[in-house]
Structure 1
């Protein structure tokens, strides 16, 4: 279990209800998933799903989905993926909140250094803790428990995968998620401050952490915040600020990024509007059919990433985790608070201006790449880095660059005494 693994010894200040955890899906559930796949009917070829030249501008291609379905049924090894997840220290901890009791799952690399800096890394949709495994592996290879300069905590956001959503009689928002995850960090003994990093939904949660919770010290984008002092992000969708009147000052990469964002808004965000306005309906669809889940999620991994694309194994691993944990419907809640009627992105909401040092990593194949000068209008930006490769799942796609950015940001904004 976790505390018998390297990097698995919890800090002395952690509460006693934090317990080691390993994932072991019953074999019957794995076989049921594969049996359902075999029974799923693949739609026949039509122009929209078989466009000439390999185009997928009208959605996921039939040939890709057919190959992926076949691989998932016959070649994909869930037990190998499960074993890899369990090679990292995993934990679960109950967090009491006014919205209910949340059993929060998280991975962690815990340092034995007394001056180690706590860092929380926050995923988005359709992501999970899986996207951080490559960068965690780099930290394991670079450091020992005695030399690791950080405590790296990767929670499953409430409603996602192994952080099941309790039966609720009220709504939950990103603000609720931020409060719950802040309590988790406090329960781990990090109440004196920590860095928050987030992409996608995680960037909004990180921003709210930086504003509303004194423990959080920064933001880095992917958003990384040292709560109370710093945070950082790699996702910052926003409207054009009033001060941004001259696009000639933008780099060519940023200008292309704006074009990419406009294309995404015109023809790529229908999924978000569906999840925001009819989450119950799409939730039932995605929870009833693993092939539908693969089409819905697989498309995002293909469209929102740079070349080389994530491996099919990575995509099937993510879809399998979503299916086997039954979270395809329970992780849609955040879209109503970002894309629903009358909603503002956190970056456009003056309540969430970051009056703490924060950082931003620019990846050109993000869904809506935001110019660094625009991001600077949303808070006290003290560090940024523009990359020439990478997309929405930055930690998965470019783990080395992700690690370098995180360490560079923390090195600038956090002084060890």
Structure 2
């Protein structure tokens, strides 16, 4: 008898291997030792500001370190992670074989819609486990309306790292993921959902690959387009203030990741406490409400145990190339990647750059738009049910 949600589509040509997350105890012991000996910075004026005006507070990092050392249980998280079906599939692209890790729920419903969910930085496949959990509770394999595929980008967690002898760009990731989806049997088409870097990859998949039939995003950082409407709602005006503040005081990390990724990767790979500070700050600043510390520690621990950080920031060299153009909010959306397919968008007020609908409309054929009053950059985690409802309504509207 087959395990629920594991029957591959009949047209699949790839034969992915089942995968189990099992971190060697020696790596966990090493992490514990490093944490025990990680030195905390001395208290400073900058580190005393509870509003995090100058970054994390000494109080937060001290308490987070203590919880990580004494209370956090990776094996408990590992057990939850392994409750979902994991796979690794070989995808050959430009003469290189990548082993792409992904979480998947395959449906036995004949008209199930293939849906690929794309994470960003500093995210991972963990971002979409809450949405998958909702659907797994509501459906069995014969009623599940979607095939859910959550791949790890090259360099992230359990996917192969980028090659050492050549650059890896957004277009390459899009092509690899399209080959993955087609190889899994979705030759008649699929839908993409993405945020952060996943939105960039998804946009290219929608434009350059015929198999992608529709796309839903929740991130669209961009400068003001010349042909956008000047009439803005009060909510949109507030969103633009937040976007400009992000550019002014919150985007220096992106410039560092874009211009000195090698040096930064070395620094963050040398200390788990440094990694916690770098990533933890983003989880706190980019969300509507501070997420539970356990959620932050799970993501940071996964990054540490899989040596992800130094291999994961390469997309910033490409997507941040125009981030700091004077007066600009974010990277220019390349005109060749204008979406000429059904395009949906979910707008959350505490996104790092919540730009107006009229701006987003200039980047594609926007047929679905929904504005929310709560939620931030990690919408799939913060507002799982809300984002899922948007996605389901969008698919109902556009999938034929």
Q: Distance in 2 between matches of 1:28 and 1:160?
A: 21
Deviation at 1:349, TM superposition (A): 1.2
User: Is this contact kept in 2: 1:49–1:58, CA < 8 A?
Assistant: yes
1:358 is paired with a residue whose SS is strand
User: Equivalent of 1:297, from 272, 279, 285?
Assistant: 279
Q: Select between 7-16 and 289-298 the one with higher mean Cα deviation.
A: 7-16
How do 1:13-412 and structure 2 match up within 5 A?
A: 13-51=11-49, 54-98=50-94, 100-218=96-214, 231-244=215-228, 246=230, 249-307=231-289, 309-340=290-321, 348-412=333-397
2:280 is paired with a residue whose SS is helix
Question: How many residue pairs are counted as aligned between the two chains?
Answer: 396
User: Is this contact kept in 1: 2:18–2:87, CA < 8 A?
Assistant: yes
User: Is this contact kept in 1: 2:223–2:331, CA < 8 A?
Assistant: no
Change (3 A) 1:99 1:158: farther
2:309 is paired with a residue whose SS is coil
Could you list the per-position Cα deviations for residues 28-73 of structure 1 after superposition, in whole angstroms to 9, with x for gaps in the alignment? Answer: 101111110111100010011112xx12011111110111111011
Q: Distance in 2 between matches of 1:315 and 1:18?
A: 30
Q: Can you give the 5+ residue segments of structure 1 that lack an aligned partner in the other structure? A: 219-230
1:315 is paired with a residue whose SS is helix
Change (3 A) 1:9 1:407: same
2:362 is paired with a residue whose SS is helix
Deviation at 1:99, TM superposition (A): 5.8
Deviation at 1:100, TM superposition (A): 1.8
Could you list the per-position Cα deviations for residues 230-278 of structure 1 after superposition, in whole angstroms to 9, with x for gaps in the alignment? Answer: x1100001110112352xx322221111000000000100000000000
Q: Select between 319-328 and 163-172 the one with higher mean Cα deviation.
A: 163-172
Q: Can you give the 5+ residue segments of structure 2 that lack an aligned partner in the other structure? A: none
User: Is this contact kept in 1: 2:154–2:162, CA < 8 A?
Assistant: no
1:105 is paired with a residue whose SS is strand
Could you list the per-position Cα deviations for residues 145-176 of structure 1 after superposition, in whole angstroms to 9, with x for gaps in the alignment? Answer: 00011101000011111112154200000100
Indicate the RMSD between aligned Cα atoms, in angstroms.
1.5
TM-score of the pair, normalised by structure 1: 0.92
Change (3 A) 1:31 1:97: same
Change (3 A) 1:343 1:210: farther
User: Is this contact kept in 1: 2:162–2:168, CA < 8 A?
Assistant: no
User: Is this contact kept in 1: 2:338–2:364, CA < 8 A?
Assistant: yes
Deviation at 1:205, TM superposition (A): 0.3
Q: Distance in 1 between matches of 2:311 and 2:162?
A: 10
User: Is this contact kept in 2: 1:100–1:166, CA < 8 A?
Assistant: no
1:333 is paired with a residue whose SS is coil
1:224 is matched with which residue? none
Change (3 A) 1:40 1:80: same
Q: Distance in 2 between matches of 1:111 and 1:304?
A: 34
Deviation at 1:9, TM superposition (A): 2.1
User: Is this contact kept in 2: 1:210–1:354, CA < 8 A?
Assistant: yes
Point out 4+ residue stretches in structure 1 off by more than 3 angstroms.
341-347
User: Is this contact kept in 2: 1:197–1:203, CA < 8 A?
Assistant: yes
Could you list the per-position Cα deviations for residues 196-221 of structure 1 after superposition, in whole angstroms to 9, with x for gaps in the alignment? Answer: 01000000000000110010111xxx
Deviation at 1:13, TM superposition (A): 2.1
Change (3 A) 1:124 1:32: same
